[in-house]
Amino acid sequence: MKNFNTYIQLSILLFSILFSSCVNDDSFFPEENTDNVISSAALVTVLNNFGDATNFPSENEQCFKFVYPITLGYNTNSTIRIDSYEGLADVISSQGVNFNVTGLQFPVQIVFRNTDVEVSITNEAALLNILRECEFDTVRDEFDRFFNNCFKLDYPVVLLNIDGNETNITSDEEFAIFYQNQGLTYQPEFKFPVNVLVAPNFESTSIDTYFGFFRITESCERRCPELNFTFEIEDRFNLGYQFTADFPDLIVLGTYDWFVDDQFIESDGPNNQGDNILIRDFEAPGTYIVCIKAETDSCPEGIEFCETIEVATVCPELFFESEQEPGTLNYSFVANFEGIDELTYQWLIDNELIEEDGGVNGDNMFFSEFSPGVHTVCIKTTTPSCPDGREFCKEIVVEPICPDLSFIIEQEGNTTGYNFTANFENIDTIIYEWEINGDVIEQDGGQGGDNMLFFQFDPGTYEICIRAETPTCPEGTQFCEELIIQ
Handedness of CA 260, 264, 266, 267 (dihedral sign): positive
Question: Cα torsion at 160, 166, 168, 173 (round to 10°)?
Answer: -40
Residues 6+ apart with CB under 8 A from 280: 240, 241, 242, 243, 260, 265, 290
Phi (first) and psi of residue 153, to 5 degrees: -80, 135
Helix H or strand E segment including 454: strand 452-456
Best CA proximity match to 60, nearest among 133, 114, 108: 114
Burial track 157-192 (b if 16+ CB lie within 10 A, e otherwise): bebbeeeeeebebeeeeebeeebeebeeebbbbbeb
Determine contact, residues 228/375, Cβ cutoff 8 Å. Answer: no
pLDDT value at position 83? 96
pLDDT value at position 53? 61
Query: Could you say which DSSP state residue 272 is in?
Result: G
Strands 151-153 and 101-105: unpaired
Alpha-carbon distance of 199 to 148, in angstroms, equals 9
pLDDT value at position 209? 95
Alpha-carbon distance of 178 to 160, in angstroms, equals 10
Helix ranges (H only) for 152-195 are 172-182
Count the residues in the chain: 486
Strand ordering across the sheet containing 256-260? 263-268, 256-260, 286-294, 303-311
Alpha-carbon distance of 480 to 482, in angstroms, equals 7
Q: What are the DSSP calls for 5-38, one per residue? A: HHHHHHHHHHHHHHTTTT--TT----B---TTEE
Show pLDDT as tens, one digit a residue, over the chain (486 residues).
Answer: 333 333 334 344 433 333 333 333 333 343 455 568 999 999 999 999 998 767 789 999 999 999 999 999 999 999 999 999 999 999 999 999 999 999 999 999 999 999 999 999 999 999 999 999 999 999 999 999 889 878 999 999 999 999 999 999 999 999 999 999 999 989 999 999 999 999 878 899 999 999 999 999 888 777 777 899 999 999 889 999 999 998 877 877 889 999 999 999 999 998 898 999 999 999 999 999 999 999 887 777 889 999 999 999 999 999 999 999 988 899 999 999 998 998 999 999 999 999 999 988 999 999 999 999 999 999 999 999 999 999 999 999 999 999 999 999 999 999 999 999 999 998 999 999 999 999 999 999 999 899 999 999 999 999 999 999 988 898 899 999 999 998
Determine contact, residues 401/326, Cβ cutoff 8 Å. Answer: no
- For 184-187, which contacts have Cβ atoms below 8 Å and span 24 or more sequence positions? 186/140, 186/162, 187/41, 187/42, 187/128, 187/138, 187/139, 187/140
CA angle 99, 124, 52 (to 5 degrees): 40
Would you put residue 365 in left (φ > 0), alpha (ψ -120 to 50) or beta? beta
Alpha-carbon distance of 432 to 414, in angstroms, equals 29
Angle of the 210-222 helix axis to the 139-146 helix axis, nearest 10: 40
